Amino acid sequence: MGTTSGKEKKSTKDTSHKGEPIELNTTEGEALEQSLEPAVTEADMPTANTGDDNAGEGNTLKLQGEIDRLKVLLETAHDNVLRARADAENAQNRATKDKLDGIMFANKAILVDLLPVIDNLELALAHLKTHNATSADNAPDNATSADNAPEQSDEGTKSNISSFADGVAITLKQLVTTLAKHGVEPIETPIGTPFDPNFHEGLMLELNPELDDNTVSGTLQTGYTLNGRVVRPAKVKVSKK
């Protein structure tokens, strides 16, 4: 009897499991759920994809470095273009200037060779004027009848010298005017002009208390410029107190 009742009891439990759901109280249900949930450990938790993030960051840095390198190359190329353009413009300007200088100073040699001719004409004219002035100062105030013939001869000579001086002056003026048409101009050096080594060549010092130091006290030879460029400096005396 004991055995049979035990079997029946077991059979009743099996039947109830198979046919109907087992009703459990709240406490038993929570315990059952906890027992059925899988144990989740920290190792099983999903982690951030560190490898992919590092790779992405590395790619970003690489791209930024490439961008910076290209920017440097672009700036360098831009600077090279500007420098090449400036060099080309400078070369063109030099070529233009050289061409103009070639035109403006093509006759420099022959024009400079004519300057001594002007010097000689100026010296001749100055000598003639001095001679006429000296002759006039030495002329007698009263001449006797016996001296009339020599006096008339002297007057004729003075007239000839004066005419000759006028001819030299006209020739000199014409030559200077012709050279001026080709750009040759005399360097003006009036007394008292400050000495300028760009235009003057000092040949001697002259004591002159009336003038300031380092000023022109006299011109020994006229200087000339050709189209604004000095081709022969004026040879001058320089004052000193």
Please report, for residues 3, 21, 38, 101, 192, the alpha-carbon distance to residue 30 in angstroms, rounded to integers and kept in the order given: 35, 16, 14, 111, 125
Alpha-carbon distance of 150 to 174, in angstroms, equals 36
pLDDT value of residue 7: 45
Q: Is CATH 3.30.1360.70 what the domain over 184-241 is classified as, yes or no? A: no
- Closest residue by Cα to residue 114 from 42, 50, 172, 55: 172
- 215: Cβ contacts below 8 Å, ≥ 6 apart: 191, 192, 193, 194, 195, 238, 239
pLDDT value of residue 150: 53
224 class by beta-carbon count within 10 Å (0-12 exposed, 13-18 middle, 19+ buried) = buried
Local structure of residue 218 (DSSP, 8 states): E
pLDDT tens series, the chain, 241 aa: 444 444 444 444 444 444 555 554 555 556 555 655 555 555 555 555 555 666 677 788 889 889 999 999 999 999 999 999 999 999 999 999 888 888 888 889 999 999 999 999 999 999 888 877 776 666 555 545 445 555 555 666 677 888 888 999 999 999 999 999 999 999 999 999 999 999 999 999 999 989 999 999 999 999 999 999 999 999 999 999 8
pLDDT value of residue 60: 86
Q: Where are the domains of the chain?
A: 57-89, 107-139+146-182, 184-241
Locus of tokens 């099996």 = 14
